[in-house]
Amino acid sequence: MRPFVYGYLRTSPCSSVDAIAPAQAEMVAYAEHEGYRLAEIFMDRGLADSSALSAAVTALRCGDRAPLR
């Protein structure tokens, strides 16, 4: 069984889904290439938002996320 890995992105509040998709695809490809399973990609929009970062830290501590693939 391959270990899980988590992704994190901080984007501009104005970023479109199309603008973010390449970064997400890169994370998926990297995880697979390195022998990991991408469990989740956490994403905050803008500098003031850090809720996804907090969720990522919690996931790392608890390890309770199911893989995306």
69 pLDDT above the threshold of 50: no
More confident site: 44 or 64: 44
| Residue 31: Cβ-neighbour burial (10 angstroms; 0-12, 13-18, 19+) | buried
What's the pLDDT tens digit per position in 2-53?
888 899 999 998 999 999 999 999 999 999 999 999 989 999 988 887 888 8
Q: Is the pLDDT at 59 greater than 70, yes or no?
A: yes
What does the pLDDT read at residue 65?
55
Residue 66 has what pLDDT?
55
Please report the pLDDT score of residue 44 as a whole number: 92
**Can you tell me the distance from the alpha carbon of 60 to that of 22, in angstroms, rounded to the nearest whole number?**
24
